[in-house]
Amino acid sequence: MARIDNTSDYLIAPDPGARRLTRPVVGTDQNGEAIDLNVVEERPLTIYLNSQEIVTAMTIGDYPAYLALGFLRNQGMLHENDVIKGVDYDEELETVVVRTEALTTYEDKLKKKTRTSGCAVGTVFGDMMDGLEGVTLPDVQVRTSDLYALAATINRTPSLYLEAGAIHGTVLCQGDRPLVYMEDVGRHNAVDKIAGWMLSENVPAADKTLYTTGRLTSEMVIKTAMMGIPVLASRSGFTAWGVEIAQQVGLTLIGRMKGQRFVCLSGEERLIRDADPTKVADEPRKSGRKGAA
């Protein structure tokens, strides 16, 4: 698939050439020939909430403030009534400090950690299902024409994935328009960056779709639901618990989106099938973009 040249419709688009995100290396191929390529950088980022160290995440290092805000919000350590005084990032120390006006109640969350199935060793704090009680997602209809349009645009957008691989992408969308495209070595980091951007910019979630290149796991479904986004779509597949939680909270869950094909395992009644799949350009088996594992 040919890459698109104009990404001006994005509010935030990937920047594959950004400083510090990749490093040139030299290797050899299957024939023993020298080969030059770029590989994605991976570096630690330690997140503090006021004076308390919370977690050290492995990340590519872009948008640290959004990552910190989104992580804390998605873990239930920041609530809607918490007033954020500032977010301070120190590039040399690789730390970001989120400061609030009043003390937060994060101590209980620190007592229990669950290692997730996400890449780059994701961690969630507290009981994974905490916070989903009472979550009611808006009953939003989803046009298949929008899904096809989003996939066609996102999969042709210049990105670190197309440049270097070994990375996940997550895109916040509205209708048929992709708005914010974040990438990271772990899909949970990419989602947290979007959550942090939404929190910082006070962006509503009810009319949004979240698109990801990664698997539709329980963690991905929980994060999406906690953000209030009613639709989650992916090029990749599902886990059983992810499907179960999506059905429980009323999340429209669509996976294996490649060319003309997709599978909906939650929210089928919300789909408006206004596009003829046979008229959608199918994706060759050996596509330039593959579903990330």
Q: What percent of the chain is modeled with pLDDT above 70?
A: 87
Instruction: Give me the pLDDT at residue 232, please.
Output: 98
For 33-56, what is the mean pLDDT?
A: 92
Closest listed residue to residue 145, CA positions, set 177, 171, 182, 180: 177
Summarised one tens digit per residue, pLDDT across range 188-231 is 999 999 999 999 999 999 999 999 998 999 989 999 999 999 99
Hey, what are 253's tokens?
Answer: 């869950």
Q: Which residues neighbour 178 within 8 Å (Cβ) at sequence distance 6 or greater?
A: 9, 10, 150, 153, 154, 157, 171, 172, 211
| Alpha-carbon span 70 to 245, nearest angstrom | 21
| Alpha-carbon span 220 to 266, nearest angstrom | 14
The answer to whether 283 touches 276, Cβ cutoff 8 Å, is no
> End-to-end distance of the chain based on CA atoms, in angstroms?
21
Read off the pLDDT band of 133 (50, 70, 90).
confident
For 97-126, what is the mean pLDDT?
A: 61
For 163-188, what is the mean pLDDT?
A: 92
Q: Which residues neighbour 202 within 8 Å (Cβ) at sequence distance 6 or greater?
A: none
The answer to whether 128 touches 239, Cβ cutoff 8 Å, is no
Read off the pLDDT band of 292 (50, 70, 90).
very low
124 or 182, which is more confident? Answer: 182
Summarised one tens digit per residue, pLDDT across range 141-163 is 999 999 999 999 999 999 998 88
Q: What is the pTM of this model?
A: 0.88
DSSP letters along the chain, please?
-PPPS--TT-SB---TT-TTSEEEEEEE-TTS-EEEEEEE--EEEEEEETTEEEEEEEE--SSHHHHHHHHHHHTTSS-TTPPEEEEEEETTTTEEEEEESS----HHHHT-EEE-SSTTT-EEES-TTTTTTT-------EEHHHHHHHHHHHTTS--HHHHH-S-EEEEEEETTEEEEEEEESSHHHHHHHHHHHHHHHT---TT-EEEESS-B-HHHHHHHHHTT--EEEESS-B-HHHHHHHHHHT-EEEEEEETTEEEEEE-GGGEE--S-GGGSPPPPSS-SS----
Tell me the residue length of the chain.
293
Read off the pLDDT band of 2 (50, 70, 90).
confident
